[in-house]
Amino acid sequence: MSSVNLGVDLGVNLEDCVAHLSRSAAFRSKRDIARVAARLDAAPAAATRWQAGGGRILLGDDTAAIPDGSGYLLFAAEGILPALLDRDPYFAGWCSVMVNVSDVAAMGGHPLAVLDVYFHSGASDVEAVLTGMREACATYRVPLVGGHTTRSEDGPHALAVAIVGRADHLLTSFDAREGDDVLVALDMRGRYHGDFPFWNATAGRSPEELRDALAVFGELAASGDVHACKDVSNAGIAGTLLMLLEASGAGAALDLDRLPRPNGADMARWLLTFPSYGFVLTAAPERAGRAMALFRERGIACERVGRVDRSHQLRLTSGGGEALLWDLARQPFTGFGPGRAA
């Protein structure tokens, strides 16, 4: 089990952190989304047979939430980094399912089924990829129900997986409110996966533990203790918070001194880490404690790391200092702000 660093870190150079994040490939990949967002129409109004009075399907969340009777169908897809697929095909197959299940959980839902689109060559380790997918499906109790597989001797080697889930009560990125506490929930019981920026906290954990850790989001959605939630992506903790704030039309300061972090982990690397279990949430201060308790009961670190405001900025703070990371009023991040979601 990893020890956790929590407290003032006088070694954090905020300007260096800002520069490192802003120039990172992960942040560039999220900024590229804005080019797509600018060319998309707002999602069409939901059919009246799904929800009386229509209403639009919001764009820019972890999954599309489609009104369906008294709840929501959840629909998402993830593509796997080619380098991971080539260098560690088993783990790539595992992650293709795990990240989709996490996206559904972040919306307060549970998975129903996944399907894959897989292109491979004669040199591809197809068995390792499929074994990883199959074992992840068994762990998270989500069936692989179909897909599309193509073999070409010249490649490419590429994998994408889509998921369908369901939520009775919905969590989104669009509902952070001024005055909310910003919470970060991270499973610290893991290690980096080789030299990849992936913090893997699934090894050695039972399927029951992994599923129970994700089931907490259904509880939070039903209780109303949490207003907004987003799964930490390859943009890391700060980038994920920035996407949540953009969707909600809000701002915040992220207190790096309160951020759970493994002892010895470099802050710049940690801020761009993609954890197997990591979520950013917002909750009213008087209800945040109950949300934090649910995570801590499961051995998951959860701390208050900021406060939502109306600034449309994300600032980093440490040791009494502050540095601006991003000003959404001047530059979009993904382009899916309130004007795109409506």
- Chain centroid, CA 244 distance in Å: 10
The two domains 4-34+172-341 and 62-167 share their CATH topology (first three levels equal): no
Q: Is 270 exposed, middle or buried (0-12, 13-18, 19+ CB in 10 A)?
A: buried
- pLDDT per position as a tens digit, 93-133: 999 999 999 999 999 999 999 999 999 988 888 999 999 99
Tallying the residues shown for the chain, one arrives at 342
Give the HSE-up count for residue 316: Cα atoms under 13 Å, Cβ half-sphere.
Answer: 23
Rounded CA separation 323/314 (Å): 9
Share of the chain above pLDDT 90, in %: 69
CATH fold label, 4-34+172-341: Phosphoribosyl-aminoimidazole Synthetase; Chain A, domain 2 (3.90.650)
Rounded CA separation 150/93 (Å): 16
- pLDDT per position as a tens digit, 185-218: 999 999 999 888 999 999 889 999 999 999 999 9
Band of residue 54 on the pLDDT scale cut at 50, 70, 90: low
CATH number of 62-167: 3.30.1330.10
- pLDDT per position as a tens digit, 20-48: 899 888 888 888 777 777 766 666 655 44
- Among candidate residues 245, 239, 237, the one with its CA nearest the CA of residue 311: 245
Residue pair 189/201 in contact (Cβ under 8 Å)? The answer is yes
**Predicted TM-score of the model (pTM):** 0.89
Residue 59 confidence (pLDDT): 79
Domain boundaries, the chain: 4-34+172-341, 62-167
Residue 4 confidence (pLDDT): 54
* Alpha-carbon distances of 248 from 41, 72, 230, 235, 318, rounded to whole Å: 19, 20, 12, 18, 25
Question: What DSSP element (H or E) covers 261?
Answer: strand 261-262
Residue 1 confidence (pLDDT): 40
- pLDDT per position as a tens digit, 303-313: 999 999 999 99
